[in-house]
Amino acid sequence: MVTDEARLLKELIRREERLLENSVRNDPAKIGALVDARCLFVSASGARGVLEPGEPFDSLQGVSYIDSNAVELLELSEECRMLVYVAATVSKNTRAKSRCSSVWKRDSGDWKIVFHQETTIQE
């Protein structure tokens, strides 16, 4: 039997993966469906910014994906979860990994990202 928390984990991974797709990153309407208006972002370089739901994001170079063996969902409150995972990006003959954490908040029944942070993993 699949639990509600397992279904939520699957849903939040699906939403997070959509944010890795350039077709979504370049579409303000699709971003608006996933990103809260107050979303804070901290990049692997340490740069801090606000992800604007009505603005396209930078395109990713290569293919990015979430390592399904390194995913954890933490309950922060009934309406808030932190998704912790390892993401990999493959471009040409290189592969880079980052440890990521995203905070998702449920508002009116819909989950939106309110915070995202990533740290490069040295291999």
CATH number at residue 68: 3.10.450.50
Confidence of residue 18 (pLDDT cuts 50, 70, 90): very high
Q: What is the mean pLDDT of residues 44-49?
A: 85
Cα-based angle 51, 104, 123 (whole degrees, multiple of 5): 75
pTM beyond 0.85: yes
**What is the number of domains present in the chain?**
1
Confidence of residue 53 (pLDDT cuts 50, 70, 90): low
Higher pLDDT residue, 61 or 41? 41
- Residue-number span of the structural domain to which 48 is assigned: 4-121
For residue range 73-112, list pLDDT tens digits in order.
999 999 999 999 999 888 888 888 999 999 999 989 999 9
Tell me the one-letter amino acid at 8: L
For residue 21, the model assigns a pLDDT of 87
The whole-angstrom separation of Cα 16 and Cα 100 is 11
Handedness of CA 43, 57, 101, 114 (dihedral sign): positive
Neighbours of 53 (CB within 10 A): 19
